């Protein structure tokens, strides 16, 4: 949101704001503008962190005048703004844009070191970015501004959140540069960035040219069930171990599982977007387990290295970790990198039977789609926890199985599954505070409680703990997408796609993100890839419709019918349609969403009214998603405004496209009330306002 772009401004010259280190304001002539008072400096710093974006007066009052009566706090804020205006009079006569409820500093007035740095990283000016980072050194955002107790714990927590967000954004941007092999990324620029990040406490070895690697499932040369479980466990362990090494980027489990060693190495590497592959075979010889492992060059399929490892079958769990560490050391030698294996992790369980049940349950959870798969997965995981109730990773896997049940099956009690999921995730975190994925999953439950702020807090913490887990990155990106922060969400979604490039749901998020940003061609491209991977084609139909090809869009949307009872199921409690009735429904749906004709929308809206009145779950996705695409505001408010569930929450990402008729929902007079009741307003206060929200003055 940019509430100042259309407003006239008296003559002024931009100020230079230093946000890293001590907060300073420098006038155009080079003189420092003295800002008096701790709260005045804190308020101006908050506004300069997001110039042009309005912050709620109530939020500022709670941070800077906590403990005062509301009227006193608001009066103190007004007085402080007047004093700041007087102190900035030589720079700009009218530096602020304010309303009764919000205030912002003019975007055109502020040029900060943070803005310069992020712009340089985003536009490929890597040498400039490296030099800027070296100048900033180890300084953090707004150092000293929260010293002492005058401003209180709430303001300190606010600053800590902003600092963590900034650091995560910098790390992600710089890491992306080191995966860029094009000539424009010069060695000198990389050297500057590597040195600068080392000054900020980051391991300089993490910013060598990153190697992208995929572990393929190990082939078992027999029908030995215990050996197959060992192979599955080694696959999991090796990915977990390699993912902790800064110089490596490891393809996600979901994508890697889809490829076997018999498939062309060149094709596999291309589809997984990696430079190297690890494959191997496992066999038993008496009580000895023999592993043959090889490293393949993805460009030509040739072996760069191969080796044989042996271990005793009496302790398969320890053998998995030993082999993972040995393989890691060998990789460092072959790839000519000083790769030091991470410290051996404490196994979540030492019970072989519990671990076996866990592997079986998790394998079924990953597949997700299929009659009875998730019910069986839950049964296996619960059996593992009966044997070892302190098995933290298994609690996380069980939480994931419950949320998948709520999303991917015609579940009659989605909120009940969400509650079970939350209990499992909390237990995992209690047993192992480093379970980042459990935090991300727990965030889903916060959405069902109309607490997107709490959900985002958990997602950012999960990403801090597991930045290389594509499931965690996607969850954070999706949460930001749901609140309308599409520009901020896109890098996390893209990171998940890069690490897990054969996972269709990643492309669904990517398609919607590009559609929201107006990148229609990229939205169609991501949608086509999603359909290639077997996911429903509705999103692609919507993107094609946005491009103006209505006839093709209707046909594409209609093709979703072919996936019924395969990757899609009828709404909970409803009988599946078949024959002419099924065709008629999808014809009506496709025309209603994609034809652009009012009469078709009215007809489909009438169908949604009927579904809302008769379905077991009146907030079912089959009602919510098309209601958004057709701009049916009242139905959106009646569904999402009544109950967000793990199944329908993803629909919220489609609210933020700048398209007709979707934008009519945001322009509806009840939209702000809807955002307040669902907790979106509270999330915006902390994490920023949506890219497309209308100016406060025009609400």
User: Which of the two residues, 346 and 439, has the higher pLDDT score?
Assistant: 439
pLDDT over threshold 50, residue 1: no
CA–centroid distance for 334 within its chain: 33
The kind and range of the H/E element at 159 are helix 152-178
Cis before 16? omega within 30: no
Assess contact for 212 and 205: CB atoms under 8 A: no
Mean pLDDT of 68-89: 90
Mean pLDDT of 36-63: 89
Placement of tokens 């296996």 in the chain:
380
DSSP characters for 225-267?
HHHHHHHHHHHHHHHHHHHT-TTEEE--HHHHTT--TTS-HHH
Residues 6+ apart with CB under 8 A from 273: 212, 251, 498, 501
pLDDT confidence of residue 181: 46
Assess contact for 472 and 463: CB atoms under 8 A: yes
5-35 pLDDT, tens digit each = 333 444 577 889 999 999 999 988 888 998 9
pLDDT confidence of residue 592: 96
- Tokens read off for 297: 């060059």
Which band of pLDDT confidence, cut at 50, 70 and 90, is reported for residue 262? Answer: low
279-306 pLDDT, tens digit each = 888 888 888 888 888 888 888 888 888 8
237-256 pLDDT, tens digit each = 788 777 777 667 788 877 78
pLDDT confidence of residue 246: 66
The domain ranges of the chain are 15-171, 211-334, 468-698
pLDDT confidence of residue 479: 97
pLDDT over threshold 80, residue 453: yes
Which band of pLDDT confidence, cut at 50, 70 and 90, is reported for residue 149? Answer: low
Least confident window among 478-492, 562-576, 606-620:
562-576
The kind and range of the H/E element at 428 are helix 414-431
CATH class for domain 211-334? alpha beta
By percentage, how much of the chain surpasses pLDDT 90? 40
Which band of pLDDT confidence, cut at 50, 70 and 90, is reported for residue 179? Answer: low
Placement of tokens 């078949």 in the chain:
578
- Tokens read off for 339: 């790769």
DSSP characters for 329-370?
HHHHHHTT--PPPPPPPPPS---HHHHHHHHHHHHHHHH--S
**Vertex 248, ends 245 and 250: CA angle to 5°?**
105
CATH architecture for residues 15-171: Orthogonal Bundle (1.10)
Name the average pLDDT for the chain.
Answer: 84
638-672 pLDDT, tens digit each = 999 999 999 999 999 999 999 999 999 999 999 99
pLDDT confidence of residue 622: 94
Assess contact for 85 and 71: CB atoms under 8 A: no
pLDDT over threshold 70, residue 440: yes
User: Which of the two residues, 286 and 635, has the higher pLDDT score?
Assistant: 635
Assess contact for 696 and 7: CB atoms under 8 A: no
Q: What is the DSSP letter of 568?
A: B
Least confident window among 37-41, 310-314, 362-366, 410-414:
310-314
Distance, CA of 41 to CA of 615 (rounded, Å): 55
pLDDT over threshold 80, residue 197: no
207-231 pLDDT, tens digit each = 555 678 888 888 887 777 778 877 8
User: Which of the two residues, 612 and 271, has the higher pLDDT score?
Assistant: 612
Which band of pLDDT confidence, cut at 50, 70 and 90, is reported for residue 3? Answer: very low
pLDDT over threshold 90, residue 359: no
Least confident window among 46-55, 328-337, 644-653:
328-337
105-131 pLDDT, tens digit each = 998 889 999 989 888 887 778 778 878
Distance, CA of 626 to CA of 291 (rounded, Å): 51
**Cα–Cα separations (whole angstroms), residue 138 to 22, 166, 171, 264:** 12, 13, 13, 46
Query: Which residues does residue 55 pair with via DSSP β-bridges, in sequence order?
Result: 103
pLDDT confidence of residue 202: 64
Q: Three-state DSSP class for 293?
A: strand
pLDDT confidence of residue 695: 43
**CATH fold group of domain 468-698:** 1.25.40
User: Which of the two residues, 624 and 532, has the higher pLDDT score?
Assistant: 624
Distance, CA of 581 to CA of 79 (rounded, Å): 66
């Amino acid at each position: 949101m940019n509430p100042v772009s259309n407003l006239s401004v008296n003559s002024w010259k931009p100020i230079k704001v230093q946000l890293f280190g001590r907060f300073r304001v420098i006038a155009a002539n080079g003189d420092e503008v003295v800002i008096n008072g701790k709260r005045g400096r804190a308020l101006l710093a908050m506004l300069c962190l997001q110039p042009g974006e309005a912050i709620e007066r109530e939020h500022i009052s709670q941070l800077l005048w906590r403990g005062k009566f509301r009227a006193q706090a608001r009066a103190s804020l007004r007085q402080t703004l007047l004093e700041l205006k007087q102190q900035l009079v030589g720079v700009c006569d009218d530096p602020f844009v304010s309303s009764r409820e919000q205030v912002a500093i003019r975007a055109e007035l502020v040029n900060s070191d943070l803005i310069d740095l992020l712009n340089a990283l985003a536009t490929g000016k890597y040498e400039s970015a490296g030099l800027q980072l070296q100048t900033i050194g180890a300084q953090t955002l707004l150092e000293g501004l929260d010293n002492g107790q005058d401003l209180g714990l709430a303001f300190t927590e606010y600053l800590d959140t902003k600092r963590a967000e900034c650091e995560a954004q910098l790390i992600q941007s710089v890491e992306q540069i080191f995966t860029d092999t094009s000539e424009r990324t010069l060695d000198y620029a990389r050297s500057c960035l590597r040195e600068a990040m080392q000054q900020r406490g980051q391991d300089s070895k993490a910013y060598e040219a990153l190697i992208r690697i995929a572990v393929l499932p190990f082939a078992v040369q027999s029908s030995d069930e215990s050996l197959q479980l060992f192979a599955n466990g080694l696959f999991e362990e090796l990915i977990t171990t390699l993912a902790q090494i800064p110089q490596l980027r490891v393809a996600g489990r979901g994508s890697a599982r889809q490829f076997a060693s018999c498939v062309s190495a060149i094709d596999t590497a291309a589809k997984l977007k990696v430079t190297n592959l690890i494959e191997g075979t496992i066999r038993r010889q008496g009580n000895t387990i023999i592993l043959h492992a090889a490293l393949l060059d993805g460009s030509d399929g040739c072996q760069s290295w191969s080796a044989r490892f042996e271990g005793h079958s009496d302790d398969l769990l320890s053998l998995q970790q030993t082999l993972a560490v040995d393989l890691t050391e060998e990789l460092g030698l072959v790839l000519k990198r000083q790769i030091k294996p991470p410290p051996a992790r404490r196994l979540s369980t030492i019970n072989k039977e519990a671990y076996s049940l866990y592997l079986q349950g998790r394998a079924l959870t990953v597949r997700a789609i299929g009659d009875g798969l998730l019910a069986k997965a839950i049964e296996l995981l619960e059996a593992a926890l009966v044997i070892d109730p302190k098995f933290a990773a298994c609690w996380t896997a069980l939480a994931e199985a419950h949320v998948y049940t709520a999303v991917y099956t015609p579940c009659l009690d989605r909120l009940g599954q969400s509650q079970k999921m939350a209990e499992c995730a909390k237990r995992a975190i209690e047993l192992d505070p480093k379970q980042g994925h459990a935090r991300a999953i727990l965030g889903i439950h916060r959405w069902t409680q109309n607490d997107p702020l709490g959900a985002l807090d958990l997602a950012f913490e999960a990403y801090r703990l597991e930045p290389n887990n594509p499931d965690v990155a996607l969850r954070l990106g999706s949460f930001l997408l749901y609140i309308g922060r599409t520009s901020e969400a896109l890098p996390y979604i893209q990171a998940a796609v890069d690490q897990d490039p054969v996972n269709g749901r990643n492309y669904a998020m990517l398609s919607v993100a590009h559609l929201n940003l107006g990148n229609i061609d990229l939205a169609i491209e991501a949608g086509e890839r999603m359909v290639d991977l077997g996911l429903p084609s509705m999103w692609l139909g919507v993107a094609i419709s946005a491009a103006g090809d209505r006839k093709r869009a209707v046909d594409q949307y209609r093709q979703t019918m072919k996936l019924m009872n395969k990757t899609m199921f009828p709404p909970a409690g409803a009988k599946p349609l078949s024959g002419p009735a099924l065709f008629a429904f999808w014809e009506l749906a496709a025309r209603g969403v994609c034809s652009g004709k009012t009469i078709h929308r009215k007809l489909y809206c009438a169908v949604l009214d009927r579904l809302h009145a008769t379905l077991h779950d009146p907030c079912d996705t089959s009602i919510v998603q098309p209601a958004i695409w057709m701009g049916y505001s009242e139905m959106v408010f009646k569904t999402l405004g009544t109950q967000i569930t793990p199944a329908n929450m993803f629909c919220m990402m489609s609210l933020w496209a700048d398209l007709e008729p979707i934008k009519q929902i945001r322009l509806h007079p009840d939209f702000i009330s809807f955002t307040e009741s669902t907790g979106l307003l509270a999330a915006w206060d902390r994490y920023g306002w949506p890219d497309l929200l209308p100016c406060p003055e025009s609400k």
